[in-house]
Structure 1
Amino acid sequence: MINKFGITLFICLSSILFSFSQTKKSVSTKKTAENISIDAELNEESWKNAEIATDFVSLEPKNGTPIPEEFKTEVKIMYSDDAIYIGAALYDPNPEKILKELVERDNIGTSDYFGVFINGYNDGQQEFRFFVTAANGQIDTNFTSSGGEDGSWNAIWESNARITDFGYVIEMKIPYAALRFPEQDKQTWGINFFREVRRERQKYTWNPIDNKIGAVSQQAGILTGIEKIKTPTRLFLIPYSSFYLSGSETQKTKGELKGGMDIKYGINDAFTLDAILVPDFGQTKFDNVILNLGPFEQQFNENRPFFTEGTDIFSKGNLLYSRRIGATPNLNLELNENERVLELPSAINLLNALKISGRDKNGLGIGFLNAVTEKTTAIAINEMTNNSREIVVSPLTNYNVTVFDQRFNQNSSVTFINTNVTRNGSFRDANVSGLLFNLNNKTNSYNLSGEIKTSSIYDEISSNGLNTSLYFADTNGKFRYTFGGNYVSKDYEINDLGINFRTNYYSFTGNTSYRILNPNKTFNTFRVNLNSYFEFYTPTNQIQASVFSTSLNSTDKKNHYYGAGINVNPFKNYDYYEPRVANRYFVNPTNVGGFFYFSSNYNYKFAIDVEPFLTHVINENRYEAGVNISPRYRFSDKFSLVYSFNYFKLKNDIGWIDFENSNIIFARRDRDTYTNSITSKFSISSEMNFNLSVRHYWSLAENNKINNLNEDGSLSTNTTYTGNRNSNFSTWNLDLSYSWWFAPGSQMSILYRNNASTFERQINKDFGSNFSNLFEDNLNHVLSVSVRYFIDYNQAKNWIRKG
């Protein structure tokens, strides 16, 4: 086995000696001194003399075939002292059939669209991608060869779209401040152009992209002709002001005014500093809270813009869970006798945060993120003496992330990352470091990746932990495979700034897949995956997780999507986490399950997603089942609505509920969960949108049989426990917002929000009464208005001069 692996590894590394050759298209540009109006007319004299990039080829589904003549696409490029201009004529034999749904920024919707991919260093590693829809919607992303597209990245640029009698026209102006390129007299950039004919689900690129090769960014064309341009001063100020009016049935209405500023500064041509002063995240999306009865915390998505925009470099090694910064405080307080909590904080305030990120011409990426949260306290009062005291819930805390990511050979990288949490006073500190590598041969057909991560906790009892992994993959062609392993020590702990649940194990994984690279008579796309995973508890070598699975994903000729899968767990698993006591475990029996997924073509006004699933525990009356149903209807290009219903049932589920003396109490329980949600939008234009988001969640867990957990992981009947540990939990969230991008980078938003939640031990299975109880003296209301204004230093300088 070792010899075979060594031979395969040798072939992979040796193939780096062979270069990947592809004839790349080239286009040249000329400088213009004209004042170009971004009106999608392309009627300036400079456009008439610009070189044309044409002869697009199919990306998917018919990879490599020429674009049909009736969808001919012609692109021209010009540049000036401060920006690059893109003009595209996109032909269509039926302009009236061009899809052009109006949606908010960074959302394509159901639209035809055109894009340009720009790599100022022409190193195949990073592209800034700019898209414009036929409805003049803007989308921008930062693409890296290792991390894919980061849609949270935003730039300030101009565009326009216009439907014509031959198709539609796109015109774009992209300032150099939105790009990165070296300080050279003559520039050579990597460039590619993209087009999707949405109704046909056909995607095309100017320079061909071979879908047998995973490296997309290395298959760009070449842009020449740009000379003697200067990297502009990239200093942007974004002051904001917000007003909040909040109240509830039990609290009187109060108002609050906030103000602050975001700063973006280009330190040089490669690196950017982002800082927030007096941050305000009051209008971020609500969290989808659930009834969590498991041993691990619920993980939430990050919705705060500062921690989502341009943070791809900080995600290396999965060591950063940014929701730790300014998290909801832990309210499990240690109270003295006769004490009760008088005042509880609702949040830990973020005082300030900054990040520096970028990549130089030699491929070295650097990321530095720092944030400080304020000291947060609760007030406890002694009911006998009436004396009160302050309890520190969270001390003044500094969070730091530092990353060095060196890319080479256009498709490989070595990364060092460190995270550090320092708390004021005697509270615990934490430090985590990681060394990662991702190696690909020149033909992008083999990949070798691995990680070595260490953690150190400094507390009353300090500890050090280790996490290491190694994976090898064939990434080319119709048949592909991956195999590797992972080891995590007992004391590996990253939860001060990251998130991890399981430790003290080693695991092995392997998967293989088959896909078609071009459509056949039945399918546009088709892929089959076979996967296996085994995880062993290190001290005993017992299996604590295992699965064999197979899945199928396909798109038919009408662009409907089908998916299905089967999961088999053929071995008993030893769960060392559910008991909540070290070295105790519960034995989970074998099970088998499956799912089916159907998603109809979203091009139609009416579409629907359906996913039923079922998992059955073998030889027991125990299962989990559910269904997701989500119909959607597009009433017009301006108005659409999506409804989602999810039902999830656990029959005779087994889990921890309590402790009694020295006993660990488990219960067999039935769980029912219902989730109803509605999302809707009405767009007046691509700059002005109304959005509605509603979610009602109801989950109950009824304990039917109480058990003691035995030392061997089995259960025995308990006849003495009398506690009520049933759960009946409901939440409601409604957001109705209006957003207006009144100038580039500048936005006014109005948000009305209400929310409510209830939790009780009494089981009430009547939906109507549970729903009404949720709103009884429990509904909170917030109305907020926020205005953010984008100021470009270069423009402001001209304002001052004119003034």
Structure 2
Amino acid sequence: MSLLPLLVVPLLLTSVGTPSAATRRIEPGPVYDGRSGKTKVSVPRAERAPVIDGMLDEPEWGTASVLTGFSQFFPTDGVAAQDSTEVLVWYSGTALHVGVRAHAAPGSVRATLADRDRITQDDNIQLFLGTYNDSRQALVFAVNPFGIQSDGVLTETGAATGGGFASTTTRAREATDLAPDYVWRSKGRVTDRGYEVEIAIPFKSLRYRNGDVHTWQLNVVRTVQSTGHEQTWTATKRASASFLAQSGTLDGLRDLQRGVTVDLIPTVTSSAFGGQGATPGSWRYDTQRPDIGGSARWGITSNLTLSGTANPDFSQVEADATQFSPDPRIAVFFAERRPFFLESQEQFSTPNRLIYTRRISQPIFATKLTGKQRGFDIGVLSAVDSREASVTGRESPLFNIVRLQRDVGKQSRLGFVYTDRTEGRNWNRVVGVDGRLVRGVYSVQAQAVRSFTRTGDESGSAPLWDLSAVRNGRAFYARYVLNGISRDFDAQSGFIARPGIANISATHRLNLFGKPGALVEVFSPEVYVLGRYQYADFVTRRPAQDAQLHLRTNTRLRGGWQVGAQWLREEFGFDRDLYA
């Protein structure tokens, strides 16, 4: 009897001194307020993978880093966002996990069960993830309130934005290339207070530098359709030549596990043709020999990938939509849609589309190496095309393409391109250099290229050159372009919409911003002038063949309404050779 109290007391002490998991207090994660400049995020790590169901109820979300303090970016920057947004970030050994709580007035959320990459008319959240921390390129992962996905790559090249009736809708950043599709998971739901979305991005779907500790750039953009506003986590300014350079960072990512990244896609294609036999009521079938092919991809390292394909089957690729060109002098462009060529397509991007993989119509074999190594972006592609793509129908065209880019400073770069298409004794080679210099709101881009072609016993060469300067200010935008393409310039591995011309153009646009809450949010008058010359006439200083003058005004009103007007004066000349 005397031993009973001694046995009970230790048990009670154990129960009081060690709280259960259900009653253990969870320490909340740190808060990073973008408007306060707290944009260097220390990301917590947890090993348990949550269920992607749109419910941010796992314990890991309670300890995640919280990104808040969003700013309005469009149409007016520099002011606090009207809508409250919280982005939760943590990572496991195999994936980056992001949760979103987007608060909104009841009934104001716009969401549909849209197709992939078709969510621009819905409310959406966009993650700009720069895994190389170079302020030049970022992977884009976007979701609408239901978790419908849109993804792609944003590569800053200094391309023009705006123009036309929609110039005030320009986001002061370049468009995202939505052609690539990545493997990631998302789920969302609309709530009484707005919507919530849960996202998991596996590390094996990303490319990043080798190392023990990683720092990645991150910015989050929220689009609110009810007001037409765009909001960013960092206090991003329109007056900048780079949108990505204004991102925050995810610091301290360690021991990332990609596993063995090997993809094998074998294909077997067979067909049978049937017809009526010799006797009435009988049928005869002729089965063709099956075609065997496939593709393979090997992630050599976290930032270097080797891919190959042999006799691929592209029957599942989306068909091209019909296009109509109002100008018969300009070739019609069709975007690349084949998966093998889409992967790492950004590594082969050049000004003036000197690389156009659809020139490889039906490859018998192709291989490519892509990635980033010691500050160089690398893209190497070799392919043997079908004989049906040759001029004679007897030789198989051979393609060799090399694209190298070198980081220079924080945002500038230098690039080199070489393409070679050989068909028997005939060949076409293109060699060029290009570069972009960025300083504050100013950027300058230049390109010099020369083509070398041999057809039969004849050979020749011709130049292409391009120079542009941009001032991307908040109140004043200006762009000046001077380029020329010789009539004899030939890029058989690229796409030149119209050779034999030279262009001089200038764009000036003012942005006049109204006060917060005013009826007029921004008023933008714009002047655009263009002179287009036959290349030979430009060299000999003869008058322009085409001349254009565009006067535009665009007004954005409260609630997302737009009113625009424009007056156009255009003169077109006839190509002497085309209309001879």
Q: Which residue of 2 aligns with 1:320?
A: 355
Q: Which residue of 1 aligns with 2:236?
A: 209
Q: Which residue of 2 aligns with 1:548?
A: 549
Q: Alignment partner for residue 474 of structure 1, among 471, 493, 504? A: 471
Q: Which residue of 2 aligns with 1:535?
A: 532
- Structure-2 separation of matches of 1:472 and 1:376: 43
Letter of the structure 1 residue corresponding to residue 546 of structure 2:
A
Q: Which residue of 2 aligns with 1:139?
A: 150
- Structure-1 separation of matches of 2:575 and 2:340: 38
Tell me: CA distance 1:531–1:292, structure 2 relative to 1, closer, same or farther (3 Å).
closer
Q: Alignment partner for residue 437 of structure 1, among 435, 438, 441? A: 435
Letter of the structure 2 residue corresponding to residue 142 of structure 1:
V
Q: Which residue of 2 aligns with 1:417?
A: 417
Give the strand-richer structure, 1 or 2: 1
SS in 1 for 2:79: coil
**Structure-to-structure mapping, 1:399-410, within 5 angstroms:** 399-410=399-410
Tell me: CA distance 1:568–1:97, structure 2 relative to 1, closer, same or farther (3 Å).
closer
- Structure-1 separation of matches of 2:155 and 2:331: 31
| Structure 2 spans left out of the alignment, 5+ residues | 1-35, 160-173, 275-283
Q: Which residue of 1 aligns with 2:5?
A: none
Q: Which residue of 2 aligns with 1:74?
A: 86
Q: Which residue of 1 aligns with 2:133?
A: 122
Tell me: CA distance 1:240–1:165, structure 2 relative to 1, closer, same or farther (3 Å).
farther
Aligned length: 512
Identical pairs, percent:
23
Q: Which residue of 1 aligns with 2:56?
A: 42
The yes-or-no answer on 1:465 pairing with 2:465 is: no
- Structure-2 separation of matches of 1:238 and 1:72: 44
The yes-or-no answer on 1:234 pairing with 2:261 is: yes
Tell me: CA distance 1:496–1:157, structure 2 relative to 1, closer, same or farther (3 Å).
closer
Instruction: Kindly state the Cα deviation for residue 554 of structure 1 after the two structures are TM-superposed.
Output: 4.1
Letter of the structure 1 residue corresponding to residue 130 of structure 2:
N
Contact 1:57/1:64, CA 8 A, preserved across alignment: yes
- Structure-1 separation of matches of 2:578 and 2:121: 45
Instruction: Kindly state the Cα deviation for residue 415 of structure 1 after the two structures are TM-superposed.
Output: 0.7
- Structure-2 separation of matches of 1:243 and 1:517: 63
Q: Alignment partner for residue 446 of structure 1, among 426, 442, 445? A: 442
Tell me: CA distance 1:303–1:517, structure 2 relative to 1, closer, same or farther (3 Å).
farther
Contact 1:544/1:576, CA 8 A, preserved across alignment: no
The yes-or-no answer on 1:200 pairing with 2:227 is: yes
Q: Which residue of 2 aligns with 1:88?
A: 100
Instruction: Kindly state the Cα deviation for residue 526 of structure 1 after the two structures are TM-superposed.
Output: 3.9
Q: Alignment partner for residue 282 of structure 1, among 315, 318, 321? A: 315
Q: Which residue of 2 aligns with 1:559?
A: 560
Q: Alignment partner for residue 55 of structure 1, among 46, 64, 69? A: 69
What is the RMSD computed on CA atoms of the aligned residues? 3.2
- Structure-1 separation of matches of 2:512 and 2:68: 28
Q: Which residue of 2 aligns with 1:395?
A: 395
Contact 1:262/1:276, CA 8 A, preserved across alignment: yes
Tell me: CA distance 1:429–1:218, structure 2 relative to 1, closer, same or farther (3 Å).
same
Q: Which residue of 1 aligns with 2:162?
A: none
Q: Which residue of 2 aligns with 1:641?
A: none
TM-score normalised to structure 2 length? 0.80
Q: Which residue of 1 aligns with 2:164?
A: none
- Structure-1 separation of matches of 2:256 and 2:503: 53
**Structure-to-structure mapping, 1:159-178, within 5 angstroms:** 159-178=186-205
SS in 2 for 1:30: coil
SS in 2 for 1:139: strand
TM-score normalised to structure 1 length? 0.59
Q: Kindly provide the CA deviation profile for residues 679-707 of structure 1, in whole angstroms up to 9, marking residues without a partner as x.
A: xxxxxxxxxxxxxxxxxxxxxxxxxxxxx
Contact 2:294/2:309, CA 8 A, preserved across alignment: yes
Instruction: Kindly state the Cα deviation for residue 289 of structure 1 after the two structures are TM-superposed.
Output: 5.8
Tell me: CA distance 1:169–1:407, structure 2 relative to 1, closer, same or farther (3 Å).
same
- Structure-1 separation of matches of 2:104 and 2:153: 29
Tell me: CA distance 1:456–1:176, structure 2 relative to 1, closer, same or farther (3 Å).
same
Instruction: Kindly state the Cα deviation for residue 154 of structure 1 after the two structures are TM-superposed.
Output: 1.6
Contact 1:238/1:261, CA 8 A, preserved across alignment: yes
- Structure-1 separation of matches of 2:323 and 2:108: 41
- Structure-2 separation of matches of 1:294 and 1:545: 14
Structure 1 window deviating more from structure 2 (117-126 vs 561-570): it is: 561-570
Q: Which residue of 2 aligns with 1:680?
A: none
| Structure 1 spans left out of the alignment, 5+ residues | 1-21, 327-348, 379-390, 580-663, 665-803
Q: Which residue of 1 aligns with 2:338?
A: 304
- Structure-2 separation of matches of 1:214 and 1:158: 33
Instruction: Kindly state the Cα deviation for residue 375 of structure 1 after the two structures are TM-superposed.
Output: 1.7
Instruction: Kindly state the Cα deviation for residue 518 of structure 1 after the two structures are TM-superposed.
Output: 6.3
- Structure-2 separation of matches of 1:297 and 1:193: 38
Q: Which residue of 2 aligns with 1:801?
A: none
Tell me: CA distance 1:292–1:370, structure 2 relative to 1, closer, same or farther (3 Å).
farther
Contact 2:179/2:337, CA 8 A, preserved across alignment: no
- Structure-2 separation of matches of 1:255 and 1:286: 30
SS in 2 for 1:218: helix
SS in 2 for 1:376: helix
Q: Which residue of 2 aligns with 1:492?
A: 489
Instruction: Kindly state the Cα deviation for residue 417 of structure 1 after the two structures are TM-superposed.
Output: 0.6
- Structure-1 separation of matches of 2:564 and 2:343: 32
